[in-house]
């Protein structure tokens, strides 16, 4: 698996300062016009056509710092505290989703609520507002306040479920501030698992050898018909520079996330209402398999179904272990990622069956999934005084 290698996975947004000398897109357009069809092979003509069509849908995104951040820096400057220039926060790539929205990576926005968007063959920077993000899948959705004169040209969306290793792919983005750069390659692998910026695993990731570099974040990965099949998000590299391994979020995942953000302003995550103890702690307590329930969200699905959490005995303070979950819908559970993988395919309101061990007996419990609720207290962590030890599912 990816995380077992010594390589690092790098997000691809770049500081705005790297982007102050962009390439004039008109130069690329004139080169295309001067190339005659007779001098190009059919394959080359096909690639040229893909770029000519897709470039109208690809945008350069400049994430802006929030007014709160700017006010903080202004006060820091007044009182002589260390401050930074009030510049745009970072830059990346995005693409047109529909007649008003643009998609990019969550990490491109980096907490910003507003952005400037620039289209191909234009120097005008259009205002865009953040509709919502999904940090777990590294997706952000922007709504354009101003629309381009040429109108919005959404990319045709493909299906990532049918992709094959070896098929041709094309990436368009703004690496190192070089706007509208096209790179080509193949799908090198499917079903990869990488960590999101918030540490959650992302599944079914597309691996490609098409060159992807800082500034490509949020840009489209296209198939040989110019259809959107993924959103470029990261590279694996021992140095931080492109080393032939890039990653893209599959379009099937993007479709689901974007529709949720459009409807609710956020991504909707199904939850069991359980905080699990980390695997290493369970093994230390003698568990050979399964995950120990540390804490249950009050009135959550698991508590409603009658599952038991770990607790301390009154008086003696002795630790009484809770239920041990060994499977979910017949899928074995030994790590938190095993449950993440199943929940990734499910929706709020779906029913799941957990197999648990309680007092040496195997029991099945049926739960109805509810929306994940942020619990800032994360009470399960109080047992071991380290919040990051628990897995919330």
Quick: pLDDT tens for 211-222. 999 899 999 999
pLDDT tens for 21-77 read: 444 545 555 554 555 667 889 999 999 999 999 999 999 999 998 555 544 444 444
More confident residue, 249 or 65: 249
Q: Is the pLDDT of residue 143 over 60?
A: yes
d(CA 200, CA 211): 25
| pLDDT (0 to 100) of residue 65 | 81
Name the CATH superfamily, with its identifier, for domain 270-392.
PDZ domain (2.30.42.10)
CA 178 to mean position of chain CA atoms: 24
Contact between 369 and 349 under an 8 Å Cβ cutoff? The reply is yes
* pLDDT, position 338: 94
For residue 145, pLDDT beyond 70: yes
204 vs 280, residue with greater confidence: 204
**Fold: same for 2-11+156-264 and 16-144:** yes
pLDDT tens sequence across 374-384: 654 344 333 33
Contact between 236 and 230 (Cβ < 8 Å): no
Q: What percent of the chain has pLDDT over 70?
A: 79
Q: What is the 3-state secondary structure (H, E, C) of the chain?
A: CHHHCCCEEEECCECHHHHCCCCCHHHHHHHHHHCCHHHCCHHHHHHHHHHHHHCCCEEEEEEECCHHHHHHHHHHHHCCCCCCCCCCCEEEEEEECCCCEEEECHHHHCCCCEEEEEECCCCCCEEEEEEEEECCCCEEEEEECCCCCCCCCCCCECCHHHCCCCCEEEEEECHHHCCCEEEEEEEEEEEEEEECCCCCEEEEEEEECCCCCCCCCCCEEECCCCCEEEEEEEEEECCCCCCCCEEEEEHHHHHHHHHHHHHHCCCCCEECCEEECCHHHHHHCCCCCCEEEEEECCCCHHHHCCCCCCEECCCCCCEECCCEEEEECCEECCCHHHHHHHHCCCCCCCEEEEEEEECCEEEEEEEECEECCCCCCCHHHHHCCCHHHCEEC
The residues spanned by each domain of the chain are 2-11+156-264, 16-144, 270-392
pLDDT of residue 83: 44
CATH architecture of the domain with range 2-11+156-264: Beta Barrel (2.40)
For residue 97, which of 255, 306, 212, 226 has the smallest C-alpha distance? 255
CATH for 16-144? 2.40.10.10
Q: What's the confidence (pLDDT) of residue 305?
A: 96
Task: Give 200's pLDDT tier (boundaries 50, 70, 90).
Answer: confident
pLDDT, the chain, mean:
84
Catalytic residue numbers, as ranges: 107, 138, 217
Residues with Cβ within 8 Å of 188's Cβ and at least 6 positions away in sequence, in order, are 165, 207, 208, 209, 245
Q: How confident is the model at residue 14 (pLDDT cuts 50, 70, 90)?
A: low
Residue 240: is its pLDDT beyond 60? Answer: yes
- pLDDT above 90: residue 204: yes
């Amino acid at each position: 698996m990816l995380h077992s290698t010594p390589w690092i996975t790098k997000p691809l947004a770049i500081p705005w300062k790297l982007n102050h000398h962009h390439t004039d897109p008109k130069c690329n357009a004139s080169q295309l016009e001067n190339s005659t069809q007779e001098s190009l092979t059919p394959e080359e003509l096909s690639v040229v056509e893909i770029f000519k069509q897709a470039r109208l849908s690809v945008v350069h995104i400049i994430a802006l710092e929030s007014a709160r951040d700017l006010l903080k820096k202004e006060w820091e400057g007044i009182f002589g505290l260390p401050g930074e220039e009030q510049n745009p926060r970072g830059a990346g790539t995005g693409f047109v989703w529909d007649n008003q929205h643009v998609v990019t990576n969550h990490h491109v926005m980096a907490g910003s609520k507003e952005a400037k968007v620039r289209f191909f063959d234009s120097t005008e920077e259009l205002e865009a507002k953040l509709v919502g993000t999904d940090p777990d899948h590294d997706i952000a959705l922007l709504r354009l306040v101003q629309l381009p004169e040429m109108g919005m040209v959404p990319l045709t969306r493909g299906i990532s479920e049918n992709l094959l290793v070896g098929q041709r792919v094309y990436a368009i983005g703004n690496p190192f501030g070089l706007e509208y750069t096209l790179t080509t390659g193949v799908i090198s692998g499917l079903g990869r698992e990488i960590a999101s910026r918030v540490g959650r695993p992302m599944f079914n990731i597309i691996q490609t050898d098409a060159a992807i570099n800082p500034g490509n974040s949020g840009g489209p990965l296209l198939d040989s018909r110019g259809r959107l099949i993924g959103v470029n998000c990261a590279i694996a590299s021992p140095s931080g520079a492109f080393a032939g391994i890039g990653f893209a979020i599959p379009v099937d995942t993007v479709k689901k996330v974007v529709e949720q953000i459009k409807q609710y302003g956020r991504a909707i995550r199904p939850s069991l209402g359980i905080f699990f103890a980390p695997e290493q702690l369970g093994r230390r307590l003698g568990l050979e398999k399964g995950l120990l329930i540390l804490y249950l969200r009050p009135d959550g699905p698991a508590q409603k179904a009658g599952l038991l959490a770990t607790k301390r005995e009154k008086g003696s303070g002795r630790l009484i272990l809770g239920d041990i979950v060994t499977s979910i819908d017949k899928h074995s559970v030994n790590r938190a990622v095993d449950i993440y993988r199943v929940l990734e395919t499910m929706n709020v309101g779906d029913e799941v069956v957990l197999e648990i061990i309680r007092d040496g007996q195997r029991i099945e419990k049926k739960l109805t999934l509810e929306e994940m609720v942020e619990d800032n207290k994360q009470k399960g962590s109080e047992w071991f005084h380290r919040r990051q030890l628990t897995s919330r599912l």
